[in-house]
Structure 1
Amino acid sequence: MKPRIVSMIVIAASALALLLAIPTGIDFIQRTHAQTFVARIDTRDPTLIAKGEYLAKAADCAGCHTAPPGGVSGKAPLHPSAPFAGGLPMGSPFGTIWSSNITPDPIAGIGRYSYDDFERAVRKGVAPGNRRLYPAMPYPSFAKINDDDLLALYAYFMHGVAPVSKAAPHTTLPFPFNQRWALAFWSFAFASDKVFLPQASRSAQGNRGAYLVQSLGHCGACHTPRGPAYEERGYDEHSQRYLTGGTNDHWFAPNLTGDQGAGLGRISQDEIVSFLRRGHGGGLVTFGSMVQVVEDSTQYLSDDDLHAIALYLKSLPARVSSGHFDARSPIGLKSVRALDTGNVELPGAGVYQSFCARCHKTNGMGETLRYPRLAGNPVVLSASADSLVRLLIEGGEAPHTQTGPEPDKMPPFAGKLTDLEMARVLTFVRVAWGNDASPVTSRDVGRVRRALGR
């Protein structure tokens, strides 16, 4: 390509980026409205701050913006107890993105943010100085937060959170992903800035559930697959891919639509509520990054809000079907007989009998409020087995909750089982007891093991 043409393309791209960064007339009107709106409200009102604290839990702000007490990957913790001080690394296809300090410290945090600054950052992913935020910050979902709730969040973070003066690590991605100005194009192409609108076809409870799932809960950030530009393939039920499952940091967040196999089709509303409240529901147990969501967020939601979420999720039609379950399947019955009689000639059955049956039982039903069932478990039936592989490699622990049982731990098997043995036992699990899902290969296991450095 001729240098002149290249120069013209660069100039045109830069000009468009500049135009996208310049506030439009609509932006000006919105900001004027926001300033007028907040001027009428006392953001130090204890009731407003308490509401903001609840909404911050619903949005799981602590889950991303609070580093674990012991630090991460050998790094020292920022502070003995530093809620919202950032410093949590988030894996992405482009490199590690560090969460920022969102305490009201005026230097390290957001203490100098006006409400307008806060609104632009949360809803549009633009920090003061027109600094674009990476879409690891789910601003396409947060754009749906209504004005009243956004103001309550602002009041809480300005007046209800202790300031922490230590800055979080700076995100340094390789070129070209370090060119934040280009995110203006990403936002223009993929992000919506429309506030959630209730639908007349839904009840008040259904609209409340949809609002929580789509906006504050930003469930799609994990449970919706992403496209080549790391964009979510839909932000509400009008998209065929919305909440049909997505992979993040080698965890597969399962399908939340009504699919009878790998979705919520066989899970009741009450079981969903219990799962979100206690980390246990319908024989299922929280795992992976969802553990932190339950610990930091959903266990604190009101019963009304949890039931609203469950109602909305159960209203979603089955989409992207994968895996099936039939408890009367001849193959499933054969696997049960093999384990009960000790005839473990089926590939993987011997490994299961030796390492898994004590907790998950020979019938695959686990133990209520302790160990998850594997028979008919939607995660076991998912198209992706990444979560199963990662759990087998690293182990896991159920969440600590106020109303749930004492959490049990699953030990890691990275040093006990080979890639082939892991592949065989997971394949056995995915076809035993009436499960019918695709096999797992040693290549699948090796890929995840290498990615985890295990």
Structure 2
Amino acid sequence: MKHCTFSFTTALGAAALLVLAHMPQARADSAEDLVAKGRYVAEASDCSACHTIKGGRPFAGRMEFKLPIGSIYSSNISPDPAHGIGAYSEAEFARAVREGVRRDGASLYPAMPFPSYARMSDSDIHALYVYFMKGVQPVAQAAPANGIPWPMSMRWPMMFWRAVFAPSVASAQKDVNRTFPTPAIARGAYLVEGPGHCGACHSPRGIALQEKALSASTGTVFLSGGAPIDGFVPTSLRQDQRSGLAAWSEDDIVAFLSTGRNQKGEAFGGMTDAVYHGTQHLSPEDLRAMAQYLRSLQPNSPNAPAWHYDSAAAAALQHGDASARGAKVYVDHCAACHRTDGHGYAPAFPPLAGNPVVMSDQPDSLVHIVQSGATLPGMSKAPSAFVMPSYSQMLSAQQIADVVTFIRGAWGNNASPVDAATVTSLQKSAPPRVLEEKPVPLN
């Protein structure tokens, strides 16, 4: 019995030594896992798109946002203690991200989408904090002073804005935990409504620039289309005919979020940034969950008629009849890529027939793309880049109005015409957007 006791205790001690020997590595692995998870959450939250400028250090801020009241600049969110967030405790970091309050107690402007981030879980916030503190290099660089004149520059009134329009963390978390048809749709709702903050662009805003809805639980206005941003009008992400995603399959949405292109369209403007910096890095399971959630959203305009292809314009062009307004300009400058039948060569060159961007009540996006062009960069799953040239120096305002009118009216699109005055006004109000491209691992 004595021998057995000695053997048992010896074995127990040896096992304990083995556990202790592996504890530092286990802790290291745990820290590495948290940094990796935090990086993933940062990508899902699209942090880099706003806090990293072209040619700048990661997360050093300085990106300009031109608002009706002046310009503001994104802050440095690297872990530099003087110019960044290095001195923030985790509680202070969580308050800034989810409640819009800085470490010094001042309110953040709602260009920071804290009303959406209020929905983020404690575990995601913790991982995000660990990532920024341990996985990001500090940058000793201050952001420029905001260009908003007094008295609009005062931050203290923002506490009233937050009280009225921003949800508390508790109420946001309660909404996150509402009942969903499937766990996948619940996950998709969390990503779209929370870290993805899709409603910040794709939902309409009120007179105080607040989002009119922050989740699908409040009705069909959520994700029903937003106001112009840098010359582009965010479309409806609901199952709306003509203006939304009713014609997109689940696979179409997954392909778009992972590559910025599919058989129905391509990303442009701020959505290019969102895919390049954010959604292309998400797992197939999360992309599928987001697609299933978006497919579950009822249309905001349930009585809108579906788009049906009309071959009349294609037949006229194919028989050499370019007498319709803008048809000659289209044949000379557009048909090589988008074809006389409007179907394009997707996913390289998107179709114009039945495209929600083309059929929008607001022609801003289409006009701006013709004026300024667009670049779709290579993505990890689609390394080829495609460029739409700018025609602002080649075509007059009247010619642009004519060709946009032709595109909006042909192939069953049946959208309203555009005049030269509208083209001129849109050109003045839409500064070009520069995408900060980074190497993407092709894996």
- Shorter-normalised TM-score: what interval? 0.7 to 0.9
Residue 61 of structure 1 corresponds to 47
Deviations 1:385-407 (CA, angstroms, capped at 9, x unpaired): 11111111110011320111411
AA in 2 matched with 1:61: C
Q: For residue 297 of structure 1, give the secondary structure of its aligned residue in structure 2.
A: helix
The runs of 5 or more residues in structure 2 that have no matched partner are: 1-26, 433-443
Residue 110 of structure 1 corresponds to 85
| Paired residues of 2:74 and 2:143 also in contact (CA < 8 A) | yes
- Distance apart, 1:342 and its partner CA: 1.8
Identity of aligned residues (%): 42
Quote the Cα distance in structure 2 between the aligned partners of 1:201 and 1:48: 28
- Please state if 1:255 is matched with 2:230: no
The 1:436–1:43 alpha-carbon spacing in structure 2 relative to 1, beyond 3 Å, is: farther
Quote the Cα distance in structure 2 between the aligned partners of 1:396 and 1:102: 29
1:229 to 199, 208, 223: 208
- Distance apart, 1:263 and its partner CA: 0.4
Residue 438 of structure 2 corresponds to none
- Distance apart, 1:175 and its partner CA: 2.8
- Please state if 1:409 is matched with 2:390: no
Quote the Cα distance in structure 2 between the aligned partners of 1:186 and 1:42: 43
Q: For residue 359 of structure 2, give the secondary structure of its aligned residue in structure 1.
A: coil
Residue 10 of structure 2 corresponds to none
Deviations 1:175-215 (CA, angstroms, capped at 9, x unpaired): 33201111111111111122252332421100000000000
Deviations 1:327-385 (CA, angstroms, capped at 9, x unpaired): 45xxx322111211221111011111111001100010111221010000111111211
- Distance apart, 1:43 and its partner CA: 12
1:154 to 98, 119, 129: 129
The runs of 5 or more residues in structure 1 that have no matched partner are: 1-40, 70-78
Residue 63 of structure 2 corresponds to 88
| Paired residues of 1:322 and 1:381 also in contact (CA < 8 A) | no
Residue 239 of structure 1 corresponds to 219
TM-score by length of 2: 0.87
Deviations 1:289-322 (CA, angstroms, capped at 9, x unpaired): 1111111111110000000000000000111479
2:181 to 202, 209, 223: 202
Q: For residue 395 of structure 2, give the secondary structure of its aligned residue in structure 1.
A: coil
Residue 188 of structure 1 corresponds to 163
Quote the Cα distance in structure 2 between the aligned partners of 1:211 and 1:350: 48
413-422 or 297-306, which moves further after superposition? 413-422
- Distance apart, 1:444 and its partner CA: 1.9
Which of the two has higher C-alpha Rg? 2
- Distance apart, 1:324 and its partner CA: 5.5
110-119 or 190-199, which moves further after superposition? 190-199
Q: For residue 252 of structure 1, give the secondary structure of its aligned residue in structure 2.
A: coil
1:295 to 276, 280, 286: 276
Quote the Cα distance in structure 2 between the aligned partners of 1:62 and 1:305: 19
Deviations 1:110-155 (CA, angstroms, capped at 9, x unpaired): 0000011101100111101111111000000000001111111111
Residue 31 of structure 1 corresponds to none
1:286 to 267, 290, 297: 267
Pairs within 5 Å for 1:37-48: 45-48=31-34
The 1:305–1:357 alpha-carbon spacing in structure 2 relative to 1, beyond 3 Å, is: same
The 1:239–1:93 alpha-carbon spacing in structure 2 relative to 1, beyond 3 Å, is: farther
1:400 to 351, 358, 378: 378
Quote the Cα distance in structure 2 between the aligned partners of 1:433 and 1:424: 16
- RMSD over aligned CA atoms reads 1.9
AA in 2 matched with 1:283: K
Quote the Cα distance in structure 1 between the aligned partners of 2:77 and 2:204: 28
| Paired residues of 1:224 and 1:241 also in contact (CA < 8 A) | yes
TM-score by length of 1: 0.85
AA in 1 matched with 2:240: D
AA in 1 matched with 2:187: R
- Distance apart, 1:410 and its partner CA: 0.6
